[in-house]
Structure 1
């Protein structure tokens, strides 16, 4: 494939993927290299069975969260509610973090792994890092779930390059 063909395919791929509606999460970590977090829409369950349930998350290699997770060996996937666009924007670096610390945007508590869990998240999946593979620009990370916490409410969604609500 020539370079122009590859670039055209990439642009069509990105446009097509913008039509996908997905949940908005923030992925957080803490440990020997300190806290970090990022807003992520590429997240899914892998399996509920086996030794423990497993989750998959994809993080761009240039985020501060990706190398922090690799070094801390844990992460928490925090599924955001429809009213949490402000937190999503802070962790996506779209808006400045209060006082320069993303974790002041919400109330966090340490989960079993030590990763910060957003107390008001609709769901929290606390994970121990099982594997990581760099594919293109992203780290594909799989975690073994250590702890789950849930609340009720509508989720924050992302599609068509904007936040969406179910209503």
Structure 2
């Protein structure tokens, strides 16, 4: 698949409208982490989705930018954790998105952690965390689409999801 040239005005216009349209789509804010023989790394991502609950183990997907420091480490470790953030954890999202580089020498110092059953970094107090084994990945354009087999689910404290929509953080509101 050839990539469109950004000098082509039609392709550039479609790309810009696509990015603008995607900015309107609300998504949970997640910190994807990994730890193992290839090292420890993490990043903030909104591109996460359930794939299937009706396989021997449930599956989900995350999309990670090729240029992210997480990509080679996650692929090398073959395991990862999707930490779904609560609405009071926007600082954690900012740190793992690289927006607080001067605040913490090690971005893992921005919050409390526990080790999951399979050794993956789980954010203490996250809404939910899914420890996964990488079962496949495919590069599409600038991103790796990583399919993970869920090997453990850690349900956190109750709370509201941290959401990103219209280029800002928001929260869900539970009905009474």
Which TM bucket (shorter chain)? over 0.9
Aligned runs of 1:139-150 on 2, under 5 Å? 139-150=144-155
For 1:65 and 1:28, the matched residues in 2 are separated by: 8
Which secondary structure state, in structure 2, belongs to the residue aligned with residue 30 of structure 1?
A: strand
After TM superposition, the structure 1 = structure 2 runs for residues 3-152 of structure 1, keeping only pairs within 5 Å, are 3-96=8-101, 98-151=103-156, 152=158
Shift of 1:98: 4.7
For normalisation by structure 1, the TM-score amounts to: 0.96
Q: Secondary structure at the match of 2:39?
A: coil
Cα RMSD (Å): 1.4
Q: CA deviation at 1:4?
A: 1.4
Partner of 1:159: 165
Q: Offset at 1:96?
A: 2.0
Q: What's the CA shift for 1:56?
A: 0.3
| Structure 2 stretches lacking a partner, 5+ long | none
| Aligned partners of 1:97 and 1:105 also within 8 Å | no
Unaligned segments of structure 1, at least 5 residues: none
Return the TM-score normalized by structure 2.
0.91
